[in-house]
Structure 1
Amino acid sequence: AEADSQAVLPCKYKPNSIYSPAVIWSKVNNGTIWKKKKSGLQFWGSDWSVKGNQRARCPHYEFSRGDYSLQIKNVREGDGGLFSCTVQTGDQVIIILVMLRIIKVSSSPSFPILDNSFSISCNVTPWPYGASVQWIVNNSSFMQQMEITSDGETINNVVRERATPRLAGNWTCVVGYEGKVGRASATLTMKGITKPFEDNTKVYAPVGSEVTLPCVFSSGLVPSSPAWEKLKPSPILLPASFSPSQPVMDKSITLKEVQLEDEGMYRCSGTVSGQRLTRNMELVVAKIDSSFPSKERGYVSLTCKLTNTSEVTEYEWVRVVYDHNGNQSVESIQKGKFITINKMSVENQGEWACRFYGKYGILGNVTYHIQIMSKLSPCMSAVTNHSLCCSNNSETILTILHISSPQRNQILQYPALETIVHTISNEREQRERNREKK
């Protein structure tokens, strides 16, 4: 039985007598556990009853079937050993012996520090000579080096390894002996830098965005002398300023506006119990390059680029659409690293996003905005020099008029603009009069 579980020690005998038998459960060389007299009175040994709470009991409703099995709750290593079940009815006395072996998995230290040595053991009390031991780690078989005892027995109930993220998790010890199998499990939790959990983790961010480089230590660890370095492409010690609102184990830093030159390898570090713990990570920067094909006027070609594409398995382009509540949805999904868009089409205007995926799902995305435009009419040079353009769109005209009106009592800074506005306004009024006549 696994430590801290319930063990059931079998004792089944169908007596010939119609009278209720007397039953005694004892641990060999260690006294009585539980007994029931023929009268029905029950007694518990002092080691098996604490403050009226009995750890061992026999379900009386099974007696009529001849089942006198003993149930022991929360078994301990000290419970292991030989037990006897004595059933007395009339002049018949039946004794059944049961060996209880307790299996327990434990590690030393209880919470290994990452990159340090640790051991995990499978203890069986009492140990069965000639037993086989197999280890399963996170549902996969684990092979380790065998040890040979002084009497020539090969054992593998102890594993000694260096603490790495892949060894964290569930460890199960499977013990085989004389055709029977028992097992016990334990969760191995490692201390150190838990986010990111592994070295060389990649963090993705588009140009111009804000990104946090994570560096979180295990709960309960207070690292001293935390520091950040940029390792590649050129080594530099970063002036890491940690927010007072951050928990003491969180030494993450934030880059407010990512630039292309921020890509590369970073390292965070901190000292715990005299040991310097480090974690390396890579910042991958994404951007969209645009070009305008000379043969296709009004079109723009977009290319999704990342400073490291080793994890990327697929690219996807989507047009992002927002409703009046600000909720977004996507449409026009297209696969591939490149895309050519007719920017004069109203259906294509707005926000486009390049999503990039890895083996386990989406890694990140980067966006490109196509300006909302309508058909343009020629503009005078004075307007063009000020990055303004003429439009037949009435909303644009009204906006220009609204901006221009406060200037009427002042010196006009853009006389050409006022002329254009009046000209367009007059043309618009003339068109409306012509429509009314028709």
Structure 2
Amino acid sequence: MALNNFLISFLLHLGILLPVTADRHEYTVAGKPITLHCPDVKPNADQGTVYWKHNETNIVKFIKGEPWKVDRSNTKYKGVKNKNFSLEMSEAEGGLYTCDGSGIDKNVHLHILKVTSSPERYLLQGESLELQLHAPNLEQIMIAWTGPHNQKGHQPRWNLKDNNRRLQIKDLQVQDSGTWQCSVQGQMIPYKVTILGFLKPLEEEIFAAVNSTAMLSYELNFDPRDEKYINSIEVHQTQETLGKPISPNSNGSCPSRNISEVQFEDAGWYRCHLNVNRQSLNKTIHLVVMKVFAHPSGHLPKKGEMNLCCNISSPLPPGARLRWGAVDESVDTPHCLVIRTAGLWTCSLIVEEEVKISMNYTVGEEAQLQFPLISVTLGVGLPLVLLILVSGCLFAYITIKRKKLRVERMAQAKQHLLAKRTCQCQRKKSNDYHHT
């Protein structure tokens, strides 16, 4: 018994003096450089040869602390002097690595973490993608996926399988384009995903009122003229508006369209076709137009009624309804509404309790027969003023005419008087001669 205790004590002391031998598991990301270390024993000239082995094949040896390559043509491995018999690898390769020699016997199980995708190509908006983690000899590990823009957790379009090793993403959007991350044992494994498509959803609905403005946009999330796309994919787009083709822009994209004064006839489907590597992607914009009118048209008769009608260019989707509203009342109606109150009325299209579009219509009352004071004054006063002016002008004309006649008569009277005196003088002279 005492001998056994002595042996155990001796072995414990010997274990303190000798290097600790143990297996270790390390994980690294594919394509990433890594450095493996032997136990904390510094090389010196008294030590013998120490080998680094990969799957029992010698790759690097240390002779008296100096590193040497066993196979000089192999550039993946490099021994580092005075670095605890360190082994550097520019690109890690999985397997069993052994540091052996001079009392050192250490195994490192190196596991390469890698993420692959299916399919491995450019993806189009609306397609599905599967990302898979390759991590051998890892059974019970924590795996977490993170998408671009810090998307985490169980998204509605995400489906996790095989103990979270596989991630399926359905109905890809352009926001999913970017770097995805898989977190394993503290390691972050990046994987870049490229998705080509339109910045807005493939199925888009735009609402517009008659005589308003509508913008139809087909903007892409990439530039078709970029060399990295020109050399690897074929991009060709055509646009179709209500069945009529439209020529694309010079950069290969569908032109945006601005309808300044929307008419009811402009409603319909506007499509843009994007072809990439023999795959087609269609974006559709559904323009829904609203118009409001009164029947019969005109003003609301006193104590009468009128029909206000609100028409939508397409059938109402399930759960949608039209609502007529005024200042003091609100009524849900299919299309037309009988009103007896003048004023401002508003027709609104409501889809899932959200107002998509509203349009106002002002109803005026029929004018009543009245005689306003101003109208009467203007109607009577204007003729009176004209009569006064005409009378004044006529009076002045008559006065001037009379004065002119009076002057003429006085002139004639003077002439008659002068002629009479001349005759009298001549008669008197003739009498005097006679007497003489």
TM-score calculated relative to the size of structure 1: 0.46
TM-score normalised per structure 2: 0.46
